[in-house]
Amino acid sequence: MDIAFKLVLLGATLILSHLIWNYFRSPLKSFPGPFSANLSNLWRLQDVFKGLCDITHNELHRRYRSAVCIGPNVLSLSDPALINQVYSTRDPWVKSDVYNVNDSVVSGVRIKNLFSHQDEQWHAKYIRPYINYFTWDTMSQLSYSQSIGMLEAKNDRFGILEVSNRSLDYFASVCQIPMLDLLLDKNPICRLGPPSFGWSVKFSAEQYQERFTEGKQSHNGIKDFLDRYIETKSKMPNIVDDNVAQMYLVLNIIAGSDTTARAISAAVYYEELRGANLSTPPQWKEIRSLPYLDAVMRETMLVHPGVGLLLERIVPKGGFTLPDGRFVPEGTIVGMNPWVINRNRTVFGPEPDSFKPERWLPAEGEHDEAYQTRFSKMKGTDLTFGAGPRACLGRYISQLESYKFVATLFTMFDLEHPDHEWEVTNSWFVRQKNIPVVIQKKKWASTALMYMPQRESFSRALPPLHW
């Protein structure tokens, strides 16, 4: 027998033995799914390679319900009730090795990034402080037109974050029995409370006195909170005095910074935008009050979330039990696909695949309490930006850009979408292409957009209209 044939036969035997071994040792073989998925991850590879796994995953969950085995140690989940457990903020489940592929190699050294890093302590150390630095600096800029300078210094210059965290811990506990505060933080003889915010009181007082004495507005000519408070003091001195104004400033920094630190649609309701008399470009305060625009944007992100693969996590020590009683052992990789979760009929109603912005609005005859409950459930289930501590950091910037872009586009231009099916490819992000759109500037459009051609036809990657 030829030596080459023997080697091929040996290799085939080893591979077959490995696949059989995978099947019998798999802790998930009792879970339904494609048979070959129990043998190796090759099934996952070919499914993703075709770029249609958002469709495949939905078909599998329609057939096998809430838990589907898609790999020897990988379970796809679709029960929205598990979102807060799998993507827990309090006790985060570690990301799987799938994210390691996103690492970079620089001069032979493997470098992790905020997206690929699996260590929750590393993530907390390197990203969360900068979010806080940004929000504290931003609130300081909005209040005094002067930044505290955390981002520039790349550190917590005055120990503000530690003071803030300890103060919140104290407040949460002691406010359950308010009398304790008199014996602790408010004790006139021996204060036993958390570190004080004396620095912020002093800083606010200095900024207030300097601005009030000079009688000038902020240096950049744009009114900040300090200008507004001084103006309010002059108009309502019986309500706002110097102490109250300075207290407002302190609360701006402390409360505003802490709370803050935590898809463009081509379909819009034209009459609502036309009747809104929006400025150019529209301001957020204008468009946030347009209920149908908000519904359209939410619906667009619901039916076409950006990510179309599992957001994988590793089941922690002790494993966990599914709502139906089935046990998932520790070490198992589990995850949810936004394209599956966002099509849950129980939460989002019938026809979850259809573009129906009305689902985000009160139905005819629906009481406000029932609507608010339904709206909150949909909002909490929507997995477009992920969930938990590793949710998309830029979600609010993305939403702000999308809302303003769509409002501007459809206020200033007429769009004609030919009867043409777009092409969609799922390779982590679900991308669209081949969508011709004819865009013509409205005759009455503001000259503020004169840099755009007066009349031009060209293609843009905009989703089709589904009405």
**CATH number of residue 437's parent domain:** 1.10.630.10
Is residue 189, in this structure, part of any structural domain at all? yes
Considering the domain architecture, whether residues 282 and 424 belong to the same structural domain is answered as yes
Considering the domain architecture, whether residues 233 and 274 belong to the same structural domain is answered as no
Is residue 112, in this structure, part of any structural domain at all? yes
Considering the domain architecture, whether residues 37 and 171 belong to the same structural domain is answered as no
Considering the domain architecture, whether residues 200 and 84 belong to the same structural domain is answered as no
d(CA 117, CA 96): 10
What's the pLDDT score for residue 170?
53
Show the CA angle centred on residue 403, arms to residues 397 and 406, nearest 5°. 130
Nearest to 203 by CA among 133, 136, 130: 136
- Domain end marker among 260, 281, 296: 260
| Domain total of the chain | 3
Binding-site residues: 392
- Domain end marker among 260, 292, 320: 260
d(CA 210, CA 206): 6
Considering the domain architecture, whether residues 148 and 114 belong to the same structural domain is answered as no
Question: Which 3 state secondary structure label does DSSP give 74?
Answer: strand
Is residue 328, in this structure, part of any structural domain at all? no
What's the pLDDT score for residue 216?
62
Considering the domain architecture, whether residues 179 and 100 belong to the same structural domain is answered as no
Nearest to 335 by CA among 114, 94, 64: 94
Q: What is the dihedral of CA 370, 376, 382, 385, to 10 degrees?
A: 160
Name the pairing type of β-strands 74-77 and 438-441: unpaired
d(CA 394, CA 392): 6
What's the pLDDT score for residue 463?
34
Show the CA angle centred on residue 265, arms to residues 263 and 266, nearest 5°. 150
Considering the domain architecture, whether residues 292 and 415 belong to the same structural domain is answered as yes
Contact 116, 374 (CB under 8 A): no
**Cα-atom radius of gyration of the chain, to the nearest Å?**
28
Show the CA angle centred on residue 149, arms to residues 146 and 154, nearest 5°. 160
Considering the domain architecture, whether residues 17 and 120 belong to the same structural domain is answered as yes
pLDDT < 50 stretches in the chain: 103-106, 110-111, 113, 115-116, 127-128, 171-178, 256-271, 446-467
d(CA 165, CA 281): 39
Is residue 333, in this structure, part of any structural domain at all? no
What's the pLDDT score for residue 267?
35
What's the pLDDT score for residue 414?
75
The residue whose two tokens read 């009181």 is: 201
**Domain hosting residue 18, numbered range:** 3-124
What's the pLDDT score for residue 59?
94
212: its two tokens: 């009030």
What's the pLDDT score for residue 224?
79
- Domain end marker among 107, 124, 141: 124
Is residue 417, in this structure, part of any structural domain at all? yes
What's the pLDDT score for residue 279?
73
Binding-site residues for heme: 392
What's the pLDDT score for residue 269?
37
Is residue 74, in this structure, part of any structural domain at all? yes
398: its two tokens: 């993305």
User: What are the residues facing 336 on neighbouring strands?
Assistant: 77, 311
What's the pLDDT score for residue 50?
79
Is residue 432, in this structure, part of any structural domain at all? yes
Considering the domain architecture, whether residues 109 and 234 belong to the same structural domain is answered as no
Considering the domain architecture, whether residues 243 and 386 belong to the same structural domain is answered as no
**Secondary structure percentages of the chain, helix, strand, coil, to 5:** 50, 10, 40
Query: Long-range contacts: 242-246, Cβ < 8 Å, 24+?
Result: 242/208, 242/212, 245/208, 246/201, 246/204, 246/205, 246/208
Considering the domain architecture, whether residues 8 and 56 belong to the same structural domain is answered as yes
Is residue 252, in this structure, part of any structural domain at all? yes
What's the pLDDT score for residue 211?
79
Q: How far is CA 183 from the centre of its chain?
A: 42
Contact 318, 281 (CB under 8 A): no
d(CA 61, CA 84): 20
Considering the domain architecture, whether residues 289 and 436 belong to the same structural domain is answered as yes
How many residues appear in the chain?
467
d(CA 184, CA 102): 50
